[in-house]
């Protein structure tokens, strides 16, 4: 649902201004109040869900999570409107290892090599998303330019001896035509 929300936000608003982001978040919250909160109530009255005592619910954790999630969404949406989207994306990338460290100190999670590799892969995935759309074409052009430049460079000094050695090494290598039948 979060990915759908992000895609719809980009599709409907593109790069939103401050007021547009505020209006979008207000409409989204009203939508959540009317349509999302009625789902658990319907499930309760149709006997699909059972609610235990409200005293057994960890309200502190739920309220803390809600406040942090609200803060994250406000900073994300208004941050994109005020600052650069790349800066916000970099903050999201950094949130993965920061959350891992908080989880390590807050709970008894042991970081084995699989968890560390997963965090690195998630971070690399976010960083790849920050690259421009034609980054692969730019990389191929850069590599071909470097390859051409490397071939064009002639070492200084005895040019005749070097070129003679290069010609000799080319003559001793078998060509591909000698391997075919």
Distance CA 155, CA 158 (A): 8
Q: What is the pLDDT of residue 23?
A: 81
> What pLDDT score was predicted for residue 63?
92
Which pLDDT tens digit goes with each residue over 76-88?
777 766 777 677 7
* Token duo for residue 55: 């005293």
- pLDDT digits 0-9 by tens, 105-134: 888 777 788 888 888 888 787 777 777 777
3-state secondary structure the chain: CHHHHHHHHHHHHCCCCHHHHHHHHHHHHHHHHHHHCHHHHHHHHCCCCCCCCHHHCCHHHHHHHHHHHHHHHHHHHHHHHHCCHHHHHHHHHHHHHHHHHHHHHHCCCCCCHHHHHHHHHHHHHHHHHHCCCCHHHHHHHHHHHHHHHHHHCCCCCCHHHHHHHHHHHHHHCCCHHHCCC
Give the predicted TM-score (pTM) of the model: 0.46
Q: Which residue has the tokens 């060509």?
A: 175
* pLDDT by residue, tens only, the chain of 181 residues: 666 776 777 777 666 677 777 787 788 788 888 888 888 889 989 989 888 888 888 889 899 988 988 888 778 777 766 777 677 777 777 777 888 888 888 887 777 888 888 888 887 877 777 777 777 788 888 888 888 887 777 555 555 554 554 544 444 444 444 444 4
**pLDDT for position 169:** 47
> How far is C-alpha 144 from the geometric centre of its chain's CA atoms?
28
Determine the Cα angle at 160 with ends 156 and 164, to 5°: 120
Contact 60, 71 (CB under 8 A): no
């Amino acid at each position: 649902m979060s990915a759908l929300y992000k895609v719809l936000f980009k599709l409907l608003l593109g790069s939103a201004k401050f007021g547009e982001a505020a209006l979008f978040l207000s409409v989204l919250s009203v939508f959540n109040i009317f349509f999302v909160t009625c789902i658990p109530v319907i499930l309760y009255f149709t006997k699909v869900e059972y609610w235990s005592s409200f005293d057994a619910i960890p309200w502190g954790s739920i309220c803390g999570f809600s406040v942090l999630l609200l803060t994250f969404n406000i900073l994300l949406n208004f941050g994109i409107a005020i600052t650069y989207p790349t800066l916000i994306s970099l903050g999201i990338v950094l949130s993965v290892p920061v959350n891992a460290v908080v989880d390590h100190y807050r709970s008894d999670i042991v970081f084995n090599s699989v968890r560390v590799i997963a965090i690195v892969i998630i971070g690399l995935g976010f960083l790849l998303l920050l690259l421009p759309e034609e980054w692969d074409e730019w990389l191929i052009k850069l590599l071909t330019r470097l390859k051409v430049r490397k071939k064009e460079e002639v070492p200084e000094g005895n040019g005749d001896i070097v070129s003679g050695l290069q010609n000799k090494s080319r003559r001793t290598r078998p060509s591909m035509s000698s391997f075919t039948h």
